[in-house]
Structure 1
Amino acid sequence: MELRFERRPLYLKETFSIAYGNYDKREALLIELSHQNCKGYGECVAIDYYRIDLQSFVLKLKEIQTLIESQKIIHPKYFFTFLLNLNLPPFLLSALDCAYWDLFGKLENKSFIELNHLPSDKLVESSITISVGEIDDQIEKIEKSSWNKFKVKCKGLDKNNVEKLLQLNRNIALDSNASFTDEDCIWLQNNPEVQKFSYLEQPRPINNYKILEKEGFANWMADEDCQNLESLDKLTPYYKSINIKLMKCGGLTPALEMIRKARKLNYKIMIGCMTESTVGISAACNLTGLVDYADLDGANLISNDYTTGSFVKNGKIILSTKSGLGIEIK
């Protein structure tokens, strides 16, 4: 097996504004694993509020390259066990795990769906993100969009804006990126109208969730609070829903395990994304038959997508019919 990797810029179609800041570009680290003329791809992205340093990942890959290339082709779950022993950060672990699933599927001439016996006939529809901005501009974007589901970013809570969004009678979620106060959360979870929002994501900074009441009217969804399998038990009194992102949890292999456990704990589940190319989005699309919500618009927000695979069109998930994760470099 051969390992290659390179850093690639991702340019956004328009400035992406969230509570953490404004962004015109991201940088991705593309991973390629190859064997017998088949190539598998994975990706991770530098996200500043996760303190991701791609150069440190490059140095780590150079350090472990010989170990990875000496591995025989084995089932991905065993390859993941090997990766765990390398003590890799979750973002890098995810890129390698996804690349290996893509390669293994191509070698077996089977899709990820076939290899894992996953449902693919009833895929949830993805939302598209509406950046932080003036409420009238946000509403205009919603009304002009051909998508059916929307995630509206907020920086703090404006009750008048909440009222205006509720009056639209559209499928809308709110994402504060941890910018709501305790008082905001109390008002929201005690307001019956708030249950019209499909969910309210990451209202408070990490580990500040104990003000939340799962039994209230708000469908609180954990994002940054829900990093991995170990997060699930402690969040049950506070959150009704969780957002699983492959880069957060370490890839497709742990995401499948998280979904199984989350179902047992009666969570609603979303498959989410960050700013990613089709490499990352294609991997996540394969899990949309298992969940209640999807937020996989990352590749739709960039202007220089460099791969093909599964994709999202006006919210509809279009799965690749090719083997592995169906990823090909343009």
Structure 2
Amino acid sequence: MTFSVSVTVERWPVAGAFIISRGAKTHVDIVRCEISDGTHRGTAEATPIYYEGENAADCAEEITRFAAKHPHLDRAIVLQNMSRGAARNAIDCALWDLECQRKNTPLSKLAGLPQLRPLVSAFTISLGQPEIMEDHARQAAANGHELLKLKLSGEGDLERVAAVHRGAPEARLIVDANESWNNLDVEAQATQLAQYSVELIEQPVSAGHDHLLSGVRSPVPLCADESCHTSADIERIAPFYDAVNIKLDKAGGLTEALAIAHAAQAAGMKLMVGCMLSTSLGIRPAFALAQLAQWVDLDGPLLLARDRDDGFRFESGKIFPAKAAG
């Protein structure tokens, strides 16, 4: 069957600024992909991974070229012939959505995932001065967020975490080092952080330098993010990490994300499902996958100035299924 594919680039403003160790963002450009069989239409969204050199215009062009070359699309063709990244994510998830529409079947059932239920999602505290992060944590806790994720930089991290803990002493904490601890004693850092309700440390060292974690006995589980892109990476990183953060843009779609999840579970690793800055359309398939995860970080839409009208409902630190989430 021949499909028609359309792609557009949309710009969505961020609420204030989203700040991590790599810089600040005041907006996010996303790629929206629609695939139609003439009767049904599948829709998906992807966010280019800017720190890997992706941008929305290039991703849109890649989708257009690929669709012109492969008019008889299916997920296997996409997986075999496109490189991982946002462009593949957009096409792959649009094809999943199209199949859901054609079969009138929820995505969770089609993908062999548990039935959707509300999930506790982390709320991100942007990188900043300790007193500012403390205030933001206090506000987040007052709004019902029980799981907070802190962006760190490798300098002054203990002070930042201690400040957030003061602001939200009952909150569970995830810290994201964003590859900044190469020159630090990871075990000592983790030991000090454990006293502040930190229950997961993301990507302490740079991707490709995972060997620096050899022999580290961390009292807090370590989670791979940038070190894991596809299911083929699991065997390599499993000796160094306790968990893996799966992002659909990074994996290049739900198809590969499912493969990562199953490979990680087989290796005895726990799962985190995260996202880039995005609207609710972007996290719809991720929410289905997150039903398998021990940690969920799908607050992308909450960090925007506005969301789509049919978006997820975020309430008291939980994310509730959108009507079309399936």
TM-score between the two structures when normalised by the length of structure 2: 0.89
Superposed CA deviations along residues 60-107 of structure 1, whole A, max 9, x for unmatched, are 233222344344xxxxxxx22111332334221111111111111011
CA distance in 2, matches of 1:69, 1:310: 32
Conserved in 1, the CA contact under 8 Å of 2:246 and 2:274?
A: yes
Match of 2:198 in 1: 197
Q: Secondary structure at the match of 1:174?
A: strand
Conserved in 1, the CA contact under 8 Å of 2:6 and 2:64?
A: no
CA distance in 1, matches of 2:216, 2:251: 23
Please list every run of 5 or more consecutive structure 2 residues that lacks an aligned counterpart in the other structure.
none
Superposed CA deviations along residues 244-281 of structure 1, whole A, max 9, x for unmatched, are 00011111111111111111111111000011111111
Aligned sequence identity (%): 24
Match of 2:254 in 1: 252
For residue 152 of structure 1, the aligned residue among 150, 153, 164 is 150
Which amino acid in the other structure matches residue 130 of structure 1?
I
Range with greater deviation from structure 2 (207-216 or 290-299): 207-216
Moved over 4 A (4+): none
Superposed CA deviations along residues 26-83 of structure 1, whole A, max 9, x for unmatched, are 1111101122442211222233212103332233233222344344xxxxxxx22111
Answer yes or no: is 1:211 the counterpart of 2:212. Answer: yes
Report matched runs for 1:7-86 at 5 Å. Answer: 7-71=9-73, 79-86=74-81
CA distance in 2, matches of 1:104, 1:176: 38
Please list every run of 5 or more consecutive structure 1 residues that lacks an aligned counterpart in the other structure.
72-78
Match of 2:135 in 1: 140
User: Shift in Å at residue 229 of structure 1?
Assistant: 0.6
Range with greater deviation from structure 2 (185-194 or 30-39): 185-194
Q: Secondary structure at the match of 1:172?
A: strand
Classify 1:124/1:141 alpha carbon distance in 2 versus 1 (closer, same or farther; 3 Å). Answer: same
Which amino acid in the other structure matches residue 206 of structure 1?
A
Conserved in 2, the CA contact under 8 Å of 1:156 and 1:176?
A: yes
Output the aligned Cα RMSD: 2.2
CA distance in 2, matches of 1:56, 1:272: 23
Report matched runs for 1:99-248 at 5 Å. Answer: 99-120=94-115, 123-145=118-140, 146=143, 147-158=145-156, 159-166=158-165, 168-191=169-192, 193=194, 196-212=197-213, 213=215, 215-248=217-250
Which amino acid in the other structure matches residue 267 of structure 1?
M
Number of aligned pairs? 317
Conserved in 2, the CA contact under 8 Å of 1:39 and 1:103?
A: yes
Conserved in 1, the CA contact under 8 Å of 2:134 and 2:165?
A: no
Which amino acid in the other structure matches residue 232 of structure 2?
E
Classify 1:230/1:160 alpha carbon distance in 2 versus 1 (closer, same or farther; 3 Å). Answer: same
Which amino acid in the other structure matches residue 238 of structure 1?
F
Which amino acid in the other structure matches residue 197 of structure 1?
V
TM-score between the two structures when normalised by the length of structure 1: 0.88
Superposed CA deviations along residues 92-145 of structure 1, whole A, max 9, x for unmatched, are 111111111111101111110122342136554110100011112112111222
